[in-house]
Amino acid sequence: MLTQLSINNYALINQLSIDFSAGLSIITGETGAGKSILLGALGLVLGNRADLSSLKDTSRKCIVEAKVSIANYNLKDFFNEVDLDYESETIIRREILPSGKSRAFVNDTPVTLSVLNQLRTQLVDVHSQHQTMQLADNSFQFSVIDSLAKNQDRIASYRRGFQQLNHHKKELQKLIAIQKEANKQYDYNLHLFNELEEANLKIDEQELLEEKLEKLNNIEDIKLNLSEALELSVNEEIGIQNLLNTLENRLDKIAPFSTEYQELSKRVTSMKIEMDDIVTELEDANENVEFNPNEAEEINDRLQLIYNLQKKHDVNTNQELLDVLEDLSVKVSQVENAEETISSKKKEIEGISTKLDKVAALISKHRTSSAPKLTKELQFLLTDLGMKNARFSIKIKQTANYFYNGKDELEFLFSANKGGNFGELKKVASGGELSRIMLSVKKVLSEHTQLPTIIFDEIDTGVSGEVSNKIAAIMQQMSRHMQVISITHLPQIASKGAHHYKVFKKEINGMTTTNLKHLTEGERIVEIAEMLSGKDITESALIHAKELLANP
């Protein structure tokens, strides 16, 4: 509930602060007095965009502040979601600086306009003749029928499933697209994969083969040098092995005479043992050296295969080729296993769809059972508002399609004339009729759901007499459940308010300013009399005004 509105340096308002109360409040004033400015200021603090033209004095900042009582609005979860401190008496402030920069605060915490706009939908509903076109909006129609059907929790559950369904459908489409693209490359990738797999590559194979081939290509030099090395080692006259034997014998003879000679003898013995090993290996190497032209050819062929594969895949090592093989294995496997993956995803979607169908059917059932009640209440209210032949028809059709709020298609059909055909609201209802229909819809909603503060901006335009009394009566009834503020030009409606405010212009030092005043009982009589007879208030107008106020 809006409890206070303070405005500084906005449009024609220099400084203004006004308190509001529960029940029905009325705002009146001459045309051009500034009623639209009040709504503009309220819209600004609730998130409308602003510019420097909003400043009365462009050298000072504009501040609009609204205090709202939100204890009954169940907004704690919302405040937690947007990281705001919850206060039962919440203060919303909007500032426009001379530079044109705009700032917004909720309980002194800076907020974005997006957060402010989310909050406004739960606080204040400004209803003007322009907003009556909302009646033709299918989303609004669904919100009306679902409020009566108390479908909010069911729809919240459905939407969670709906989001899951869309997510899995997107994943399925992605899988199908990947499969389609992969299928185009499958045969080629499979050929490359088989080619690499058949090659049976090993990480260090290339280096070993290159070394072996190098050995085979120089076999004659190797054989010659091994033979000569062996000859130098084992020759009976000058061979290293024979010389070491002789050296060992000489040192063995003098070893007992000194530890120094003993150490030398040991070292020579070690050299002799090492030399014996070398001779053995030289003999083995010399015996094993044999040129095999077939082996060289096989190695050449194997290396050429490796080189060709590396060039083909633009890599330099066998390890990189093995990485390519692994990547190709994944691609081939994806295609070969795609049907199974896609089939599994389809089963998931079917499972979610089955659950959604059950929730959607329940939503539809409650809508269908609530439609006659809504039709009856609207037709009763419209009859009261002078539309005696008005008839409503609400058509709910279950479909196979999944929408954001269920699987139904909804139509609000209307006929204003006796015997007339039903048609879409936006096509067959006039502006005045739409205003009364919207008033009736809001009246019904006020009894079935927790609506925010509602402001009616001259929706009584074009009506008079008994109908205006009925409109006022409906507003009074609504004000038992919520705060209702009505900007009106009709004395019949103005007299029904629990509180009455007047918007007026005043000139001070050559400057025109807009002001708002909470009227006393005596001032209300004068204001309503003026609404009845004009500036020249007659005695009969005063008497009539008193009568209207005496029968609220």
Give the SS3 label for residue 138: helix
Last residue of a domain, one of 303, 338, 373: 338
Q: Count how many Cα atoms sit within 13 Å of the Cα of residue 24 in the half-sphere of its side chain.
A: 22
- Weakest mean pLDDT among 112-116, 432-436, 468-472: 432-436
pLDDT tens digits, 262-303:
999 899 899 989 998 998 988 888 887 776 778 888 888 889
Last residue of a domain, one of 338, 360, 389: 338
Residue 404 in any domain: the answer is: no
Question: Could you identify the residue written with the tokens 């139509």?
Answer: 411
Asked if residue 316 and residue 240 are part of one domain, the reply reads yes
Segment 339-366 shows an average pLDDT of: 92
pLDDT of res. 129: 64
Number of structural domains in the chain? 2
Asked if residue 180 and residue 119 are part of one domain, the reply reads no
pLDDT of res. 130: 63
What DSSP designation does 55 have? B
Segment 421-445 shows an average pLDDT of: 84
Residue 8 in any domain: the answer is: yes
Asked if residue 315 and residue 189 are part of one domain, the reply reads yes
Residue 84 in any domain: the answer is: yes
**pLDDT value at 213 more than 90:** no
Residue 381 in any domain: the answer is: no
Last residue of a domain, one of 306, 323, 338: 338
Full domain range(s) for residue 189: 176-338
pLDDT of res. 67: 96
Residue 132 in any domain: the answer is: no
Asked if residue 199 and residue 332 are part of one domain, the reply reads yes
The values of phi and psi at residue 454, to 5°, are -115, 135
- Weakest mean pLDDT among 3-12, 68-77, 122-131, 338-347: 122-131
Give 136's pLDDT tier (boundaries 50, 70, 90).
Answer: confident
Segment 240-254 shows an average pLDDT of: 87
pLDDT of res. 131: 65
Give 145's pLDDT tier (boundaries 50, 70, 90).
Answer: very high
CATH number for 65: 3.40.50.300
Q: Are 452 and 124 in contact (CB under 8 A)?
A: yes
pLDDT tens digits, 61-99:
999 999 999 988 888 989 999 999 999 999 999 999 988
Residue 276 in any domain: the answer is: yes
Give 350's pLDDT tier (boundaries 50, 70, 90).
Answer: very high
Segment 146-152 shows an average pLDDT of: 92
Mean residue pLDDT of the chain comes to 88
Strand partners, 479: none
**pLDDT value at 9 more than 80:** yes
Task: Please list, residue by residue across 2-22, b when 16 or more beta carbons sit within 10 angstroms of its beta carbon and e when fewer do.
Answer: bbebbbbbbbebbebebebeb
Asked if residue 95 and residue 6 are part of one domain, the reply reads yes
pLDDT of res. 288: 76
Asked if residue 7 and residue 119 are part of one domain, the reply reads yes
Q: Which residues contact 23 (CB under 8 A, 6 or more apart)?
A: 479, 483, 484, 497, 498, 499
- Weakest mean pLDDT among 122-131, 194-203, 349-358, 408-417: 122-131
∠ CA 58-64-65 to the nearest 5 degrees?
Answer: 155
Asked if residue 202 and residue 117 are part of one domain, the reply reads no
pLDDT tens digits, 30-64:
877 788 888 889 989 998 888 777 788 888 999 99
C-alpha to C-alpha distances, 14 to 69, 404, 410, nearest whole angstrom = 26, 46, 48
The values of phi and psi at residue 82, to 5°, are -100, 10
Residue 196 in any domain: the answer is: yes
pLDDT of res. 26: 95
